[in-house]
Chains A and B, each alone.
Chain A
């Protein structure tokens, strides 16, 4: 590849490292803002080069498990002089929910919208980039605010990139029909460390460590757990969830990419997670990308997620208040999830469109399948004794259409 073009590619790579400086959450039911604090992680920059001005436009669609979520995302980046780059991001989730949790609670399908706005600034100082930003996510039953600060620097002939970040979140949690003054707080702190290392001219690896602490109202206020009716063992009753007020989690992620002898790459990832609620999980991910001609890249991927339940989880408790903390949130149960993904992107390089340095159009689709081992479907048709219902499972399609233009 000619040198000039190669330099463009280098810049493009840098841009993509940093173009994800936004925080977005996709929610199941109405408790979603809680995730915002963890999303700042995505804003890591990778040292020593500010990204070019760009527009990243995406439309997302999720359909499965009784949930339909879709909406646009617009991320704009603009430099101010040679050392400063600012970003603005607008994101919308339009939600139509009739999931097993909604139906089981006796509620009917509902629709609502979540809007997220964020702004950030990156400051280049020698070989380091300092980043800061703020995000607000708002909906009728959840308000989330997150501030973050990060630093990234390249070392060792730019073969090593080190990133550190800290984020703090302040959330207000309630129900749709509740007055805002009655909302409860949930606060969050996120510590992040990332290292990327060039191994050879064809291989690169990365290590990420995340420690997240939560404090406050951590239950989903809409969900409940169930216990055997003391007056009728063929029936069950429900009560509100009662989670611990604190949670601390640690995650380690290791990933590597290798450039194959032809223009293609293979990526492998592993993540280990555990937390103070005794949830433990393993995530395995592998992806293969293959270039076709100069502008096309095709990708296929496979992901496996396995999780062991929280210590206070049960699908069916023997009686009311049978333990200090209790929950029946299916995200706390034991289950596996698999994803098969595919994608295609088309790139237009500099010189084709005036004032455009690069443009990329991409389509991606993922098929998700979750199989639960101890969460039962109380909405299943038929007559079942409590605890004899079929195990729950659901699948979903996720599609993303995006356009990235760099100026």
Chain B
């Protein structure tokens, strides 16, 4: 049941995102304003695999699992 709900959520989110993404979107943070976001100090995984490793230290010792994140951050510049 949870998986079905999640699937619906994902499909709706994807369709919505694709629809809006096709529009002429003006980003409110311009590429030249992303210096701070591009700084490594704003990375959620600055230390590469060493950061990922900690997630697994916790997974082995705690009942919870998943949604650790750890990737991403940064400026979204391409």
Contact = CB atoms under 8 A, between A and B. Distances in A.
Given A73-B53, A271-B68, A398-B54, A332 B2 contact: no
A311 interface: no
Contacts of A32: 60
Nearest to A60: B53
B6 A42 contact: no
Given A42-B52, A158-B27, A402-B49, A201 B60 contact: no
B76 A161 contact: yes
A20 B20 CA distance: 30
B37 A259 contact: yes
A280 B12 CA distance: 28
Contacts of B58: 305
B40 A157 contact: no
A227 B37 CA distance: 56
A58 B51 CA distance: 10
Given A24-B49, A159-B27, A12 B40 contact: yes
B67 A20 contact: no
A259 B49 contact: no
Interface string B5-49: 011011001100100110001111101011111111111111111
B interface residue count range (under 10 / 10 to 19 / 20 to 34 / 35 or more): 35 or more
A206 B47 contact: no
Contacts of A347: 40
A174 interface: no
A60 B58 CA distance: 14
A143 B43 CA distance: 34
Contacts of B71: 17-18, 20, 42, 44-46, 194
A-B pairs, top 6 by smallest CB distance, nearest first, are A157-B27, A210-B66, A253-B67, A13-B74, A251-B67, A273-B64
Interface of A: 1, 6, 9-10, 12-14, 16-20, 22, 24-28, 32, 35, 38-39, 41-42, 44-46, 48-49, 56, 58, 60, 62, 73, 75, 89, 127, 154-162, 164, 190-194, 196, 198, 200-202, 204, 206, 208-213, 248-253, 255, 257, 259, 263-265, 267, 269, 271, 273, 275, 279, 281, 283, 289, 291, 297, 305, 307, 310, 331-332, 337, 343, 345, 347, 360, 362, 364, 366, 368, 370, 398, 400, 402, 404
14 contacts: A10-B38, A17-B45, A26-B57, A89-B49, A193-B13, A194-B69, A200-B29, A206-B44, A211-B6, A253-B67, A259-B37, A271-B64, A273-B66, A332-B63
Interface of B: 2-3, 6-7, 9-10, 13-14, 17, 20-21, 25-29, 31, 33-78
Given A6-B38, A198-B37, A206-B73, 11 more contacts: A17-B74, A42-B68, A56-B49, A157-B29, A201-B37, A273-B66, A281-B64, A283-B64, A362-B46, A368-B57, A400-B50
